[in-house]
Amino acid sequence: MRYKYIIEFIVYAGSVSMAVIFNAMGPMLPTLMEEFKITFTQAGLLSSIVPCILGVFALISGAVVGKLGLKTTSCLGLTVMSIGCILSGLADTYTEMLISRVIAAIGAGLFFPMMGAIIMLWFKDNELVVVNSINFSGSAVGGALVLVIAPASVATLGWSNTLIGFGVGSGLIALIAWFLLKALITRVASKGQNTETGKGFNTADIFKMKETWILAFAFAAPVAVSVVIPTFLPSYFIQTQNMTMEVASNWVSTVFLIGIPAAIAGGLLGAKTGVRKPFLIASGLMLGIGVFAAVLLTGISAIIGLILIGIGLLFYTGILFTIPMEIPDMTPETAGLMIGIITFVGMQCGFIAPLVVGWIESQTGSLKEGLLFFGVFGLLMAVLPNFLDETGPSTR
C-alpha cells in the first residue's frame, strides 16, 4: 500500500481542478454579462448548470462503476471535465458557453463519487474521515485560487484565455491519472490485492435506506450556498459597498481560504471524537448565521460572516462522505452509489439556487433577498442530521 499516497495526490489534484472549473464564473460574471448581453438569471445558469448535470452524472457514475471500474470512470471524468472547460474558453456565443459548461459538468459528475470509492480501497477505516476531509479541502483550495487569480487573469489575458488555461491545467491532471492511476491500481491488482470489489450490489437497497435521503437533503443546503455565494456575493458587494471586482472577489475568497483548515480540522476531530452527527449540525448553524452576517453587516462583521460560511461549507465534508462507508456491509461500489445519489440530490438544489436568486433579483431589483433566502436554507444541515443513527467508532 505504499502507492496510496500517490493515488491520494491524484484524487486531491482532481478535487482542486474541479473546484476551479466549478467556481470560474463568479469573478467573470460582469465581463460575461457584458460580452453576451445577458441577465443575472442567464448568467446564474452558467454556474447552476454545473451542479445540475454533475448531480445527474454522479448518479450515473455510481450505477455504472461496477461495469467500467473505478480507474476508468475516474480518468474518463477528469478528461471530459478538462475538454468542457477548454471549449468554454473557445465559446463565441452564450449558447456555446452553456453547452461547454454542460460537458465540463458531465466529467465532474463521473469523477466526484469516485473520490470516496478510490480511497476506500486504499486507506484503513480509521484513516477515511481524515483523507476525505483533505480531499474536500481541495475544493476550498480551488475555490480560493480561482477567486484570487481569475480577476487579474481576465484583466490581462481575457476571459477566454483564462478558461482555456484552467482547462489545460485540468487536462494535465487527467493525463497523469490515465497513466499513473491505472498503472498503480493494475500493479496492485496483479499482486493479488482486491481493487474492484462489490460486483452485483443491490441498487434497490441503497435507494430505500433512510441514510441516503437524510444525507442527500442535508448536503443540498451547503451545496446551494456554495454555488450562490461565489456567483452573486462579489456582485452584491460591488453594488452595495462600492468595491472593485478584485476587492470583492478577494473578500469572498475568504470563504474558501477558511474552508481549507476547516475541512481538515473536521476530519481530524471526527477521527478523534468518533462521532459524526454533531459536526453536521454545527456546520449548518454556522452556514445560516454566516450568510446573514455577510449580507446584512459590513466591515469586520461581514468578514466574520464569511469566515463562518467557510467553516460551515467544509467542516462537515469528510464526515458526511465517510458515513456511507461506515454503514455495515458497504463495499466501495455500494458506497459510491450512495454518494452518487447524495450528490445528485444536492447538486439539483445547487442548480436551482442561482436561478432562484436571479429570479428574485428580477422581481425586487436586489440580490439581498435571494442571498438571505439561502441563508435560511443552509440551516437544513443543522436540522436533518438529528434523524440519523450515529455511525462513528464511538458507537462500536
Please state the domain extents for the chain.
4-395
Question: Which residue type occupies 288?
Answer: G
The predicted-structure confidence for 114-153, as pLDDT tens digits, reads as follows 777 777 777 776 677 888 888 888 888 888 888 888 888 9
The predicted-structure confidence for 289-308, as pLDDT tens digits, reads as follows 999 999 999 999 999 999 99
Q: Which of 210, 217, 341, 212 is nearest to 284 (CA)?
A: 217
The predicted-structure confidence for 54-91, as pLDDT tens digits, reads as follows 888 887 876 676 677 777 888 899 999 999 999 999 99
The predicted-structure confidence for 357-395, as pLDDT tens digits, reads as follows 989 998 998 999 999 999 999 999 999 999 988 887 776
The CA distance from 258 to 314, in Å, is 9
Position 189 confidence tier, pLDDT thresholds 50, 70, 90: very low
Q: How high is the pLDDT of residue 172?
A: 95
pLDDT, mean over the chain: 85
Q: How high is the pLDDT of residue 190?
A: 47
Q: How high is the pLDDT of residue 66?
A: 64
How far from 170 is each of 74, 104, 160, 288, 299, CA to CA, in Å? 13, 10, 16, 33, 36
Topology classification of domain 4-395: Growth Hormone; Chain: A; (1.20.1250)
Give the least confident one: 99-108, 117-126, 156-165, 297-306.
Answer: 117-126
Cβ burial of 174 (10 Å; 0-12, 13-18, 19+) is buried
Kindly report the pTM of this predicted structure.
Answer: 0.74
Q: How high is the pLDDT of residue 212?
A: 92
200 Rama sector, left if φ>0, alpha if ψ -120 to 50, beta otherwise: left
